[in-house]
């Protein structure tokens, strides 16, 4: 299967590269290096085609302490960088794009302030704005994955599609950073119901998980975000981007 994108994740907290388990910094926040820019350059050297960045400080307190680092990441690699975390107004979106970010990821704002979300989507378009659906026990969660949005993932996905979103990042929070295997049924159900482009996130623990996820490509799941498994060398060969591109994964 060709053109299945493997997207390395760089979670940033306090200026450092971390892996936040289940999306909760207080639960378990393992450091994987002091320099997110070097991390980004490493993944680029490994042939990654896009990098996923989450700014946990901006998400938690609207702090911009990592913005210079994110700008440096964008300057240091020649591939697109997508960023999520704390984007809650049109002005926020404009500032993040000014860092050199290729596209932004919107989560809680879609539920909290539909007008601001609509303003952002109208200005930048669906190629530049991606929606995040985070779930716990088949319920959408928001606000740093701490609050129940009182809607199912599939129903929420249909709302996003009606609003003009074309791509969704789907994460089962309980699997995120746990190396417990991906919840592919969740991702598959959203892809089949909506026909949207889907990026799977969470739970990839080894090469077999990656192969199983890639089998959903015909359903519209064309990419996967991987964090902890990459940092902890859970693959027999870290040149997995080249494997995906060669058509070996099928």
CA angle 71, 73, 76 (to 5 degrees): 110
64: domain CATH number?
A: 3.20.20.70
50: helix, strand or coil: coil
The pLDDT of residue 26 = 46
What share of residues in the chain are helix, strand, coil (percent, to 5)? 40, 25, 35
The pLDDT of residue 230 = 87
pTM recorded for the entire structure: 0.90
Q: Contact, 81 vs 74, CB < 8 A? A: yes
Q: What's the alpha-carbon Rg for the chain, to the nearest Å? A: 16
Q: Which tens digit of pLDDT belongs to each residue from 40-52?
A: 998 998 889 999 9
Tally of domains within the chain: 1
Under 8 Å CB-to-CB from 24, ≥6 apart: which residues? Answer: 144, 145, 146
Active-site residues, by number, are 11, 134
pLDDT above 60: residue 131 = yes
Higher pLDDT among residues 29 and 95, named by residue: 95
Q: Which structural domain range is residue 111 located in?
A: 5-246
Q: How far apart are CA 35 and CA 161, in angstroms?
A: 37
Cβ count within 10 A of residue 185: 10
């Amino acid at each position: 299967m060709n053109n299945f994108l493997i997207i390395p994740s760089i979670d940033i907290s306090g200026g450092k590269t971390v892996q936040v388990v289940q999306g909760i910094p207080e639960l378990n926040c393992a450091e994987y290096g002091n320099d997110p820019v070097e991390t980004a350059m490493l993944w680029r050297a490994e042939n990654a085609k896009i990098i996923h960045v989450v700014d946990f400080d901006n998400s938690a307190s609207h702090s911009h302490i990592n913005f210079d680092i994110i700008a440096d990441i964008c300057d240091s690699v020649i591939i697109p960088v997508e960023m999520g975390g704390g984007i809650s107004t049109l002005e926020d979106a404009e500032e993040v794009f000014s860092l050199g970010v290729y596209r932004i990821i919107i989560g809680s704002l879609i539920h909290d302030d539909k007008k601001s979300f609509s303003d952002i989507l109208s200005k930048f378009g669906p190629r530049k704005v991606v929606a995040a659906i985070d779930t716990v026990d088949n319920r959408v969660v928001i606000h740093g994955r701490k609050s129940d949005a009182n809607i199912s993932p599939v129903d929420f996905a249909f709302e996003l599609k009606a609003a003009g979103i074309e791509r969704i990042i789907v994460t089962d929070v309980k699997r995120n950073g746990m190396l417990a295997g991906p919840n592919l049924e969740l991702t598959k159900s959203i892809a089949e119901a909506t026909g949207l482009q889907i990026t799977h996130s969470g739970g990839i623990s080894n090469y077999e998980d990656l192969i199983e996820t890639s089998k959903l490509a015909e359903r519209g799941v064309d990419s996967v975000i991987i964090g902890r498994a990459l940092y902890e060398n859970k693959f027999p060969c870290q040149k997995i981007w080249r494997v995906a591109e060669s058509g070996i994964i099928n």
